Chains A and B, each alone.
Chain A
């Protein structure tokens, strides 16, 4: 399944922040969009996810597989997101955070998926741990698997490595990219650090006047 943006632009107070461009991210590909702070990278992701709020405004077609998502509510788009912060819910345990995103079904099956997810994250037995007792790396892995277990059809990565220390950062990059590729999820990564881009992946850059070009 591919994620396509056709003639997409982002406006701030009616003025173009990100000029019209088109892009297709194939299944399992990770496209990097680079640009300085305030260039509209995160706003583009919000537009694709369906929660862009005024005074920002987006135009253009968002297509996922064969479906156009523009009229689909944010909660129904099945587009996962990773943010700068792990945004684990503090009132839920690590296991419950994973259950939060696992689609409804028989409880035992969901519990099995949750435990399997924890094991894949290298956190087997962490089910009842409160988020504040986890390290930064553990939290980041829980956050990733929370998104993956929700079975997203595409992923938007909003500078997810920027708050990690340099050692953990490299490990998490490889870890996240490997899991996204393995699941054939088309992903769009925004960052202002070229080191965050996956090796060999397509890189786009936002110019000062809001144009999106191949880097």
Chain B
């Protein structure tokens, strides 16, 4: 194509992404890594009596949650294989922010929660929330991460270029005497799991490093290492603060070591795995019932959690063991509305970062050649795969130096970090798959590049654009660690308020904030689904 017809130069495409997204991310990471040379911080960290048990707890919760989520997702995929898409349903479950769900789930399982009310007359002596083994946190992580893995797994199985291949392989394996269980084990899983590697790693890292959910449901004595680090990073004392930064790096290093060990274990076990794969035909069928039971259970828990948040937010007096409140009241809702600043800040940040992330992604994809996408994808994987607390710790230091701490610009930039990474990953493949001949055809019809983009390309790519925007908005709305550190007490967002309230006694107000946190992403997802529908059908 003649350069004169190009809508954008590579510089115009790359510069905004570099300045607004890559620069804060990379400098933040450099600052986070620089703490490696801070001797006193490491001495203080390793002398902390809770560091090792907290690390063990983090690895335990992250690993068990990841393994159970993976097995659950695979069981559901097996149960629904050949029975249509499940991505839509899983997408809805993903739209509910982790923190809002954790708050609702806590209300469900706590000793005075809904489950206890069904079986007891007085609150039982249970330790169901903040239990020392982190079981409540694990259960909540499983409930939130399983739909994500189902969504990705289903999309991989049903993708246009692979679905036919898998269907052919399935028929072929059947004709060789294998039952559906054997085909899953020996044909589909060995091809599916390597493609799920990054999502599985992301789930594991998230589970081991999450702060907001751990503050609501996780153990306290000791807490998980991420919570310990977060607490240090909030400490005004210089040494404690540096210890927090060292702790974030320590957690990342520990995860890298465990991850590498797991990888090596798999490499060494390769021979045994290959033996299992080639053991010969087995007519054993894949189990369907466990997956169907899990699906129903998950759907029921999601429905009850949402319902519970709704009920609690309008509950006046709700004595034990009543299943529904004795008195309804809009007091909590009114109080939440009264101080609308956190809501407005969150909505504003969510919308502005989602729109900016979309614009940045489109500018890059229009202006820069596809072969450079790898660089951005790599940085996105780093932004999402590395512990959020590590990136936040580094960005906190940089932003403090740059005078951006406590400012809306600083908040905008840290929200954009995760938001853009998701938007770009979701948008890149469908955007690059756009048939370039349509552009040539349009330009040949005396259309200009901008008109072509607006009238043809954006219209045809409406679904992925809307989906990427909705995901970006939901991700941005849910940011807690970086937001809380950079806000420096001068601004508040919904996640910050919800976490603060969850440790207090006002359940109705907490539920109202959790609902306020959950509703906008759900509405944006619904709007994106509608907007993404092709108009010509």
Given A91-B190, A105-B280; A74-B174 close (CB under 8 Å):
yes
- What is the distance, in angstroms, from A76's C-beta to the closest C-beta of chain B? 5
Q: Which applies to chain B's interface (DSSP): helix, strand, loop or mixed?
A: helix
CB contact between A49 and one of B171, B179, B274, B285 (< 8 Å): that residue: B171
Chain A CB within 8 A of B374 CB = no
Inter-subunit contact A146/B176 (CB<8 Å): yes
Inter-subunit contact A100/B191 (CB<8 Å): no
**CA of A79 to CA of B177, assembled, Å:** 8
Q: Which residue of A lies closest to B282 (CB)?
A: A104
Chain A CB within 8 A of B283 CB = yes
Chain A CB within 8 A of B175 CB = yes
Inter-subunit contact B278/A78 (CB<8 Å): no
CB contact between A51 and one of B174, B187, B274 (< 8 Å): that residue: B174
Given A81-B171, A89-B187; A75-B178 close (CB under 8 Å):
yes
**CA of A99 to CA of B177, assembled, Å:** 12
Inter-subunit contact B179/A89 (CB<8 Å): no
Interface string of B185-205 (1 = CB under 8 A from A): 011001100000000000000
Inter-subunit contact A85/B280 (CB<8 Å): no
**CA of A87 to CA of B191, assembled, Å:** 14
Interface string of A83-124 (1 = CB under 8 A from B): 101010111100010011111110100100000000000000
- What is the distance, in angstroms, from A147's C-beta to the closest C-beta of chain B? 7
Inter-subunit contact B281/A101 (CB<8 Å): yes
Chain B CB within 8 A of A58 CB = no
Inter-subunit contact B280/A79 (CB<8 Å): no
Inter-subunit contact A96/B277 (CB<8 Å): yes
Residues 1-48 of B contacting A (Cβ, < 8 Å): none
Chain A CB within 8 A of B407 CB = no
Given A87-B168, A91-B190, A100-B186; A75-B279 close (CB under 8 Å):
no
CB-CB under 8 A from A50, the residues of chain B are 174
Given A75-B177, A83-B168; A99-B281 close (CB under 8 Å):
no
- Total number of A-B contacts with CB less than 8 angstroms? 83
- What is the distance, in angstroms, from A194's C-beta to the closest C-beta of chain B? 26
Chain B CB within 8 A of A80 CB = yes
Chain B CB within 8 A of A73 CB = yes
Q: Which residue of B lies closest to A155 (CB)?
A: B175
**CA of A61 to CA of B277, assembled, Å:** 34
**CA of A107 to CA of B448, assembled, Å:** 67
**CA of A104 to CA of B283, assembled, Å:** 11
Inter-subunit contact A81/B172 (CB<8 Å): yes
Given A80-B176, A83-B172, A90-B191; A96-B278 close (CB under 8 Å):
yes
Inter-subunit contact B168/A75 (CB<8 Å): no
Residues 458-495 of B contacting A (Cβ, < 8 Å): none
Chain B CB within 8 A of A16 CB = no
Chain A CB within 8 A of B122 CB = no
Pairs across A and B, CB under 8 Å, 11 listed: A49-B171, A73-B179, A75-B174, A75-B177, A87-B169, A100-B277, A100-B280, A146-B176, A147-B175, A150-B177, A152-B175
20 further A-B pairs in the complex, CB-CB below 8 A; given A104-B279, A147-B175, A147-B176: A46-B171, A49-B171, A50-B174, A51-B171, A74-B174, A74-B175, A75-B177, A75-B179, A78-B177, A79-B175, A80-B176, A83-B172, A99-B280, A100-B173, A100-B186, A101-B177, A101-B281, A110-B280, A150-B176, A150-B177
